[in-house]
Amino acid sequence: MDTKELFITKCAAIEKEILAIKTDNPNILPISDGIVNVDNYLSAKYKILWILKESNDLDENNEGGGWSLTKAINGLNSWEEQPQRGRTTFQRIIYSTYGLLNDFVLWKDMPYISNEEVFESIKKIAYINIKKHPGYATSKPKEIDQAYEENKILLKRQIDLYNPDIIIAGNTLKYFFEDLSIPFDNKKSNGKTAYYPTKERLYIHPYHPNVRPVSISEENYCNDIIFAGKDWVENKKNYL
């Protein structure tokens, strides 16, 4: 097992590697991702990794990127400092994570997101994107497909290094079934969220957290994830 110092060094090396990825457009730079705060992640009740598609960071001039997602999140002191862009995504990530890490408390029973303990949940996760370069608000499926093919070795290295207990893939799990040997036959579901439990790890496959409320409310989105986590913890001794 790595010492914490070596683990931090390996995490930093991957983030540096991501920031070195080039594109044909010199104005579109990569955005590094990974563990938001190593101390918080390693001490959390469950190590949770969120896998999304890409960061929404391109402007009207088709320029963006060149920064660290983890450092940006870790540098926030309160929910009020969170930029408007990405608020829906982060709000659902925060509430879902808080529920998983706090005895599976449900959405209606949680304090508001401006509560420090609730907000600080975002600093206890790992967060990676399949596409390491920014996009617009709506992802293009062909670009995500291509990014996965280009980055799948890197993504697997990130997952192996972070070794999460719970992976929450916001409409991205389909890319990982084969490469992570996810037991498709173990599929279970709660509400509109599928999940795949094993003894060592839980894979949850919800909608992307920015899904419109007409498709699923924030309460149901978060509770589906929390219920999946509770079911896994209570029954994982029965899984292979």
d(CA 75, CA 71): 6
Which residue positions in the chain have pLDDT lower than 50? none
CA distances to 15, 208, 217, 236 from 71, in Å: 11, 22, 30, 34
How does pLDDT run across 125-141, given as a tens digit for each residue? 999 999 999 887 778 89
Residue 128: closest CA among 184, 48, 191: 48
How does pLDDT run across 43-90, given as a tens digit for each residue? 999 999 999 999 987 777 878 899 999 999 999 999 999 988 889 999
The pLDDT, as a whole number, for residue 199 is 92
The pLDDT, as a whole number, for residue 1 is 58
d(CA 71, CA 50): 16
Share of the chain above pLDDT 90, in %: 80
